[in-house]
Amino acid sequence: MIFDFLRGEFIDVIDWTDDSRDTIVWRFERRGHAIKYGAKLTVRESQAAVFVHEGQLADVFGPGLYMLETNNLPVLTTLQHWDHGFQSPFKSEIYFINTRRFTDLKWGTRNPITCRDPEFGMVRLRAFGTYTMRVADPGRFMTEIVGTDGEFTTAEIEFQIRNVIVSNFSQIIASSGIPVLDMAANTIDLAKIVHERIAPKIAEYGLELPAFYVENVSLPEEVEKVLDKRTSTAIAGDLSKYADFSAAEAMTKSAENPGGGGGMAAGMGMGMGMAMADRMARRGPWGAAPDAPAVPAAQTPPPPPAGKVWHVAVDGRTTGPFRRDELAAKAAAGEIGPDSWLWTPGGPDWVRGRDVTELADLFSAPPPPPAG
């Protein structure tokens, strides 16, 4: 103990080096807080030294090398009533302040922010981001925040700064009237507005935020789902095409997971495929009426034989081509009638049998009943 005491009396260099990366304030510890008159004080770049005497802030030193004498301690000298010949140690506390930037500090909304959106109505938003912080006024920071804390870290002030950011962010968002989609697309401008709003409050603590970022403004999950559906529909354009796409996608998923839904999944996939094929067939390349079968593509029918031939559509299926005598046999057997749909190559569209003049005699008399 005696050696520690003597060593403390002869040490006359006061400095601080830090490799913790999160320490803002560190108190220089001396036995009995006795600082020898004439000691050398080293304040490095990105540091400041604050002298506190009997609970009162006495002096603040910026970067440099100082000899602790009367001419360097005008405020402290007045408090102590020293004369120029007084060489005894004085009792004061020296706090080193780290004034560099502390980076990658996080902020975020714990609870959703409720605001009124012109498009979606009442919505709840969440947001998060990062900021950098530094001590701008060491004296104010000591008196307003640190007090007598011998080692003050960023973790002790982050919570308070986060509260300031979130409270002001919530007020800005709730009263801005900015559509939520515009917020998500303009985070840089939004960050600038929030930064300007919170700067005066942060300055009251002797701090400043050199950089402030809004990294994300997220919509509620249910709103995101509605937005995704709206986007998909807009991309699809035609609702019927979108339905075809959805059916095809469901069939693909069923095929990729044959064991997941068993026979039911396969049946559903087959049913959707048949419905899609029927819908595509009914659409027709010439814009036929919804209840009329589609005209087959030019490549679908085989080359017609000599003479005029006809195709017949029954229950959405096309058969043929048939010559006139074959049509007569079908009419006689009751397989086709005046309301049957007929089409001949080169014809403009499907027509009813009763509307074809050259085939009118086939449907003029009712066919005999089919054989038992």
Residue 253's pLDDT band, with cuts at 50, 70 and 90, is low
Mean pLDDT of the chain: 75
What pLDDT score does 89 carry? Answer: 59
What pLDDT score does 197 carry? Answer: 92
Kindly provide the residue ranges of all beta strands, DSSP E only, lying in the chain, ordered along the sequence.
Answer: 13-14, 23-28, 34-35, 40-43, 47-53, 56-61, 64-67, 90-91, 93-98, 102-108, 113-117, 121-135, 151-153, 207-218, 310-314, 317-322, 341-343, 351-352
Exposed, middle or buried by CB within 10 Å (0-12, 13-18, 19+), for 200? exposed
Using CA atoms, how far residue 59 sits from 33, 81, 94, 138, 286, in Å, is 16, 15, 10, 10, 92
Cα diameter, the chain = 141
pLDDT of 58 higher than 60: yes
The residue type found at 302 is: P
Give the integer Cα–Cα distance in Å for 47 and 326.
104
Instruction: Confirm if 127 and 216 have CB atoms less than 8 A apart.
Output: yes
Q: pLDDT tens-digit profile of 272-309? A: 555 555 655 555 544 444 455 555 555 555 555 556 88
What pLDDT score does 118 carry? Answer: 79
Q: What are the phi and psi torsion angles at 353 (to 5°)?
A: -60, -35
Exposed, middle or buried by CB within 10 Å (0-12, 13-18, 19+), for 44? middle
Instruction: Confirm if 103 and 132 have CB atoms less than 8 A apart.
Output: yes
Which residue pairs, CB below 8 angstroms and at least 24 apart, start in 346-355?
A: 348/286, 349/286, 349/288, 349/292, 349/295, 350/288, 350/292, 350/293, 350/295, 350/313
Q: What's the per-residue H, E or C state across 17-56?
A: CCCCCCEEEEEECCHHHEECCCCEEEECCCEEEEEEECCE
Here the tokens at position 223 are 């709103």
Q: What are the phi and psi torsion angles at 218 (to 5°)?
A: -105, 140
Here the tokens at position 98 are 């780290």
Instruction: Confirm if 41 and 68 have CB atoms less than 8 A apart.
Output: yes
The residue type found at 354 is: R
Q: Concatenated DSSP letters for 95-161?
A: EEEE-SPEEEEEEE-SSPEEEEETTTEEEEEEEEEEEEEEES-HHHHIIIIITT-SEEETHHHHHHH
Q: Which residues contact 267 (CB under 8 A, 6 or more apart)?
A: none
Here the tokens at position 236 are 């699809």
Pairing label, strands 90-91, 34-35: antiparallel
What pLDDT score does 18 carry? Answer: 85
Give the integer Cα–Cα distance in Å for 85 and 339.
127
What pLDDT score does 200 carry? Answer: 94
**Of 173 and 232, which is predicted with more confidence?**
173
Give the integer Cα–Cα distance in Å for 126 and 116.
14
pTM of the model: 0.55
pLDDT of 5 higher than 50: no
Instruction: Confirm if 312 and 322 have CB atoms less than 8 A apart.
Output: yes
From the CB of residue 142, how many other CB atoms can be counted at a distance below 10 Å?
23
pLDDT of 255 higher than 50: yes
pLDDT of 99 higher than 80: yes
pLDDT of 102 higher than 60: yes
Give the integer Cα–Cα distance in Å for 304 and 312.
14
> For tokens 């913790």, what's the residue?
20
Q: pLDDT tens-digit profile of 194-207? A: 999 999 999 999 99
Which residue pairs, CB below 8 angstroms and at least 24 apart, start in 230-239?
A: none
